[in-house]
Amino acid sequence: MRKLVIAIIAALALLSGWEAKAQYNREYFFWMGRSCMMNNDYQEAIRTLNILLRFEEDAFEGYFLRGIAKYNLDDLLGAEEDFSTAIRLNPVYTQAYTYRAITRSRLGNYDDALQDFREAIELRPDLPGPYYSRGVTRLLNQQFKEAIEDFDKFIRQENKVADAFICRGLSYLHLKDTVKAYENFNTAIRTNRENPNGYNRRGGLYLDQERYAEAEADFNKAIECDSTYLLSFFNRALVYNATNRPMQALADFDRVIQLDSTNSLTYFNRAMLRTQIGDYNRALEDYDRVALYSPNNVLVYYNRAGVHAQLGEIEQAVKDYSAAIELYPDFANAYIYRGRLRELLRDPQGARKDRETAQRKIAEYRSRLSDSTYSIFADTTQRFDRLLSFDSKFAGSSFDRITGHNGGHEEMRLLPLFKFTLMRPDTLPEARPYRLQRIEDFKTRIGNEYLVLSCRESNIEPDSLVMLDKEYAQRLKNGDTSWTRLFERGVSQALIKQYTNSVNTFSTAIEQNPSNPFLYLNRSTTRAEMIDFISSIDNSYQRISIDSDPANRLNNNSKRTYSYDEAVADLNKAVKLFPDFAEAYYNRANLRALSGSLPEAYEDYTKAIELNPSFAEAYYNRGVIQIFMKDTRKGCLDLSKAGELGILEAYEVLKRYAHLEN
């Protein structure tokens, strides 16, 4: 792509229509702008071209060049605007259509990008470049058959570009045609035997099919081509592990970490491998690193506890199992193993309690076998020590992602659900300007000084939350079993992650007061959070991509899906009981977004904003999903409004949104 940009710049220097009537200053600034760009000094190029365009407002080539400079600085909206101006001034400017299409593709605006490609191809059907670029856009847009047609047309004119065969192979791969995928990867390798990507793609197919010798040969060749391409070392380590060569696998993981010292997935894999060969002390070092980078992942503590146990560090092992249980109180395996260790520590009461808890939870899971959401936990002997492929990473909260293309970009998180929670009054965020008397009356009825409606984490220390929960439990035990006390207890149980108990407590409160919308709101949130933790165990890693070619950055969704139907049903009830409850619409929008129903989520966010025009979180989340729905401009406007209303995260997204689809 960079070579293409330079070639275009050089070609523009020969435009006779420009030079024939150029005055000295105009020619000088145009030449300086091109020179700066060829030296990759894009900011200086923009400054120079600004001077030129101040005097020559109809210089369409100047806008085109400035658009390229902005594109290379990731100012995609600015680039799109300059390419549009160039097209307005010269409606038959093929390159401007092509580059505006590429820019719009990076913005996720595939429909308009494809229209621009059509214009460019109609103007110059003999040029091969637009076919390749349109093929990449169609591949990103999962129009695999159409992408293949475009790569076919490009290859008929340009059959020496390895990336075209790789992209066509990827298209066939997503159509489940592995035979043609192999053929294209083979052709890519024959076309450019120095390109590591072709070997890695073919090697990945061999690895998936357990053809380890062939996969190893390809990864070896990829490393010969580029000894700094960490994916090759990582993949070869997986081959070594699968063929019982742990020391060689460790050496390759070492190399990956040399290339990327913060790669938590590699530390995790190396820790598991070191555990398998009995190198427990160094396995602990690796797990410590992973805990530093991914402190909220249950399996880090669960696996590290096993290593401590092997070393005889029983108290440390118990501490780690407790940390896993704190993160996910329904994790039956952790109770089982902690109970065994408590026997060794001569704590028969604690051991018995853990055994009973584990048995109760196993019974609960088995009773839900018909529900695929919970069925994973029926087998409490499940192991969590397999090595994981590089196209995975630790999963965060399910509220940190949207089902579909997220590109692994952490800045594109949804803000969390609203719920009644407990917070210290002296450290609460600034008061929200929006108030509903019905909510205030409800808080007064509960009579808890800590109770607030918020989407933020509680600022009360975990130990204090446990003490509060015990206090509320004692009140119930003393005979105060009103729905208000039950609600209070349900809130505290959810905060200490006793999700099953919390749902049951809220359900009992609802039986007493079935017309209260706030009870349904909190039961809904608790159900959603419970699914969140189930997700973190069931699929502890989600797909990422590290390829430089945007055509290779397709994400694969997890095979398992999680149903928020019960949580949504509770919100439907809350909305019916309280039609002006903006937070209920907001929460329902979040769950619909997580389920992949983005248009419906958009409608609910819009309704929440209609009810509360200052609803900053709703503007933020609506902006995020509009970007995913390919309406980048409107999404950015919503994010701008969210920032104006105090959501600082909005500005980080506005800085980085351009990278969503590349």
Same domain, yes or no, for 459 and 546?
Answer: yes
Residue 172 is predicted with a pLDDT of: 93
Residues 575, 584 contacting (CB under 8 angstroms): yes
DSSP-assigned letters across all residues of 26-51: HHHHHHHHHHHHHTT-HHHHHHHHHH
The CATH number that applies at residue 304 is: 1.25.40.10
Q: Which residues contact 371 (CB under 8 A, 6 or more apart)?
A: none
Q: Please indicate, yes or no, if residue 581 is contained in any of the structural domains.
A: yes
Within 10 A of 179 (CB to CB), how many other CB atoms are there?
7
**Nearest one of 265, 271, 278, 208 to 242, comparing CA atoms:** 208
Q: Please indicate, yes or no, if residue 211 is contained in any of the structural domains.
A: no
Residue 613 is predicted with a pLDDT of: 92
Residue 563 is predicted with a pLDDT of: 72
Q: Which residues contact 474 (CB under 8 A, 6 or more apart)?
A: none
Same domain, yes or no, for 16 and 99?
Answer: yes
Token couple for 230: 């960490």
Same domain, yes or no, for 462 and 598?
Answer: yes
Q: Give average pLDDT by consecutive 10-residue segment, the chain, 662 residues.
A: 45 39 55 74 80 81 86 81 91 90 86 90 90 89 90 92 91 91 93 90 90 95 90 92 94 92 87 91 91 81 91 92 85 88 92 89 67 42 61 39 33 81 69 75 91 89 86 90 93 86 92 95 91 54 28 33 81 95 95 84 94 93 85 82 80 62 37
Residues 492, 448 contacting (CB under 8 angstroms): no
Compute the distance between CA of residue 617 and CA of residue 599 in angstroms, rounded to an integer: 18
Strand partners for 393: 542
Burial of 174 (0-12, 13-18, 19+ CB in 10 A): middle
Same domain, yes or no, for 552 and 639?
Answer: yes
Kindly state the DSSP code that residue 205 receives in the 8-state scheme: H
Residue 74 is predicted with a pLDDT of: 75
Residue 129 is predicted with a pLDDT of: 87
Within 10 A of 448 (CB to CB), how many other CB atoms are there?
19
- Where do we find the tokens 């249950």? 298
- Where do we find the tokens 């494809």? 114
Burial of 228 (0-12, 13-18, 19+ CB in 10 A): exposed
Residue 220 is predicted with a pLDDT of: 95
Residue 279 is predicted with a pLDDT of: 93
Q: Please indicate, yes or no, if residue 252 is contained in any of the structural domains.
A: no
Residue 20 is predicted with a pLDDT of: 36
Q: Which amino acid is at 52?
A: L
Residues 443, 611 contacting (CB under 8 angstroms): no
Q: Which residues contact 565 (CB under 8 A, 6 or more apart)?
A: none
Within 10 A of 565 (CB to CB), how many other CB atoms are there?
12
| Cα Rg, the chain, nearest whole Å | 29
Residue 588 is predicted with a pLDDT of: 96
Within 10 A of 438 (CB to CB), how many other CB atoms are there?
12
Same domain, yes or no, for 608 and 528?
Answer: yes
Instruction: Using the 3D structure, point to which of 127, 159, 183 is the last residue of a domain.
Output: 127
Token couple for 228: 């700094």
Residues 354, 366 contacting (CB under 8 angstroms): no
Residue 401 is predicted with a pLDDT of: 30
Task: Give me the number of domains the chain comprises.
Answer: 3
Q: Please indicate, yes or no, if residue 476 is contained in any of the structural domains.
A: yes
Same domain, yes or no, for 584 and 625?
Answer: yes
Residue 373 is predicted with a pLDDT of: 45
Same domain, yes or no, for 406 and 322?
Answer: no
Token couple for 451: 């109770």
Q: Which residues contact 620 (CB under 8 A, 6 or more apart)?
A: 415, 638, 639, 642, 647, 649, 650
Instruction: Using the 3D structure, point to which of 346, 378, 410 is the last residue of a domain.
Output: 378
**Nearest one of 76, 17, 78 to 50, comparing CA atoms:** 78
Same domain, yes or no, for 43 and 73?
Answer: yes
Kindly state the DSSP code that residue 393 receives in the 8-state scheme: E
Compute the distance between CA of residue 404 and CA of residue 396 in angstroms, rounded to an integer: 15
Residue 18 is predicted with a pLDDT of: 38
Residues 513, 537 contacting (CB under 8 angstroms): no
Q: Which amino acid is at 79?
A: A
Domain range for residue 501? 398-659
Residue 365 is predicted with a pLDDT of: 66
381 φ/ψ angles, rounded to the nearest 5 degrees: -90, 5
Token couple for 22: 């150029």
**Nearest one of 229, 660, 220 to 409, comparing CA atoms:** 660
Compute the distance between CA of residue 520 and CA of residue 561 in angstroms, rounded to an integer: 24
- Return the SS3 of 4: helix
Q: Please indicate, yes or no, if residue 333 is contained in any of the structural domains.
A: yes
Residue 553 is predicted with a pLDDT of: 30
Same domain, yes or no, for 359 and 484?
Answer: no
Instruction: Using the 3D structure, point to which of 78, 93, 127 is the last residue of a domain.
Output: 127
Same domain, yes or no, for 613 and 524?
Answer: yes
Residue 242 is predicted with a pLDDT of: 92
Q: Please indicate, yes or no, if residue 217 is contained in any of the structural domains.
A: no
Tell me the pairing of strands 419-422 and 451-454. antiparallel
Same domain, yes or no, for 346 and 409?
Answer: no
Q: Please indicate, yes or no, if residue 227 is contained in any of the structural domains.
A: no
Same domain, yes or no, for 552 and 450?
Answer: yes
Angle between helices 582-594 and 616-628 (to 10 degrees): 20
Q: Please indicate, yes or no, if residue 384 is contained in any of the structural domains.
A: no
Kindly state the DSSP code that residue 21 receives in the 8-state scheme: T
Compute the distance between CA of residue 433 and CA of residue 446 in angstroms, rounded to an integer: 22
Burial of 470 (0-12, 13-18, 19+ CB in 10 A): exposed
Q: At CA 476, angle to CA 472 and CA 480, rounded to 5?
A: 115
Residues 39, 8 contacting (CB under 8 angstroms): no
Token couple for 74: 């990731």
